[in-house]
Structure 1
Amino acid sequence: MRAKLLCAAFAAAFIGTTGTATAHAAPPADDRSAWAAAPHQPVSRVQVQAAPPWGACGRSTDPQKLVRLFTKNRVVDFALRCGGPKYSSSPTWGYRHILWRHKGDFERMAAGTYQNWRDIADLAMSHNTSDPDRWKHSGGKSCYSRVLYLKNIRTNKVVRKQIFKMIVSSSNNIITSYPTGTHC
């Protein structure tokens, strides 16, 4: 009986009260700093980690469903939600927008790094959340930008230096993130 109660408590903690798996916070900065640090710093196997799992967004999934939570500090979190509008052929915010409008941009950034587009998107949002180079607030939105040095994780050579922007609503929902040539 005690084992069943412990299993039930563990399941409740893991699944949460809503019945869906909880989103993962960003890894500590030390885990990913080599990806964003100066180009002369080596990347060790220990430091290279795939992005944490993102929640799934189906065609009919609620636009407010949490995909991934990025922790800015101990007080503020930025939420990547499914976004929408759902069923739209051109979504305007959230994961659906990034997938529809910027997946190709992130795929081009991932070329030569031995990572996928989602790893690079997660990396960009994580670093724009925790350590932006520049930020600007206006019109109920915030813009964060950061230069990242993307390295080939097998050869440890920089394959590109790129600025990434992230736009966040006043309610701390991520509207979009993408590679660009200019800061906020």
Structure 2
Amino acid sequence: MHRNTQWGDHEPHETHHRCLDRSDDSRRDRFRANSFAQQVWGACGISTPEDKVVAKYSKARLTCGNTGYGFRHIQTKHGEEWQGLAAIENRNWRDIADMAISKSLDTPDLVVPQGARTCYSGQIYLVNHVNGQIAKTVEPTVIVDNGVIVTAFPGGKCRA
């Protein structure tokens, strides 16, 4: 039996959505559609501990964190950037951030060690669902430290 839980301390459930992923940059006219799991992120209230897990990914977990790392940092420092991208697909910023983090960690295009941290980047495409055309290409950056996501933002791409 599948329960749809959005709030509380329940494990996030998985649903699926599609994003376009270029499998070979040398063939610019060929795109391969990949499914990335979209999960409902756990809630981070005012008194929620920093180490509460919001979402789990293949190489790291997103915790509530604080203004310097984790969900609270991403929401405060990069939420408007993610929302701008989400508007393209008429979605919530967390859906686009989740897709980008998933892509970057599961099938990164670039992995750059940065001391104790590692930077992951994986190109995603945002589609205008009215006309079916790719509206924007983004190379998000995800920084991980000891299995915990420090930050995730839409642009920048990891620098070698």
Q: TM tier, shorter chain?
A: 0.7 to 0.9
Aligned counterpart in structure 2 of residue 166 of structure 1, from 138, 142, 149:
142
Aligned counterpart in structure 2 of residue 55 of structure 1, from 37, 42, 49:
42
Cα deviation for residue 48 of structure 1 reads: 7.8
How big is each residue's C-alpha offset from its partner over 1:102-139, in whole Å with a ceiling of 9 and x where there is no partner? 00000111222122211110011000110010011122
Hey, what does 1:37 align to over in structure 2?
21
Structure (1/2) with the larger helix percentage: 1
CA distance in 1, matches of 2:107, 2:99: 11
Aligned counterpart in structure 1 of residue 152 of structure 2, from 172, 177, 180:
177
Hey, what does 2:91 align to over in structure 1?
115
Is the Cα contact below 8 Å between 1:134 and 1:145 reproduced in 2? Answer: yes
CA distance in 2, matches of 1:178, 1:95: 11
Q: Which has the larger radius of gyration?
A: 1
- Which amino acid in the other structure matches residue 53 of structure 2? L
Is the Cα contact below 8 Å between 1:51 and 1:122 reproduced in 2? Answer: yes
Aligned counterpart in structure 2 of residue 83 of structure 1, from 37, 49, 65:
65
Cα deviation for residue 181 of structure 1 reads: 3.9
Cα deviation for residue 156 of structure 1 reads: 1.7
Q: Equivalent residue of 1:36, what SS?
A: strand
Structure (1/2) with the larger strand percentage: 2
Unaligned runs of 5+ in 1: 1-9, 72-76, 85-90
CA distance in 1, matches of 2:53, 2:110: 26
Identity of aligned residues (%): 31
Q: Equivalent residue of 2:139, what SS?
A: strand
Query: Are residue 156 (structure 1) and residue 132 (structure 2) matched?
Result: yes
CA gap 1:41/1:110 in 2 versus in 1, 3 angstroms: same
Aligned length: 149
Q: What TM-score do the two structures reach when normalised by structure 1? A: 0.70
Query: Are residue 142 (structure 1) and residue 124 (structure 2) matched?
Result: no
CA distance in 2, matches of 1:161, 1:51: 19
Query: Are residue 100 (structure 1) and residue 87 (structure 2) matched?
Result: no
CA gap 1:40/1:112 in 2 versus in 1, 3 angstroms: farther
Q: Where has structure 1 moved over 6 Å in runs of 4 or more?
A: 47-50
Query: Are residue 69 (structure 1) and residue 45 (structure 2) matched?
Result: no
Cα deviation for residue 36 of structure 1 reads: 3.3
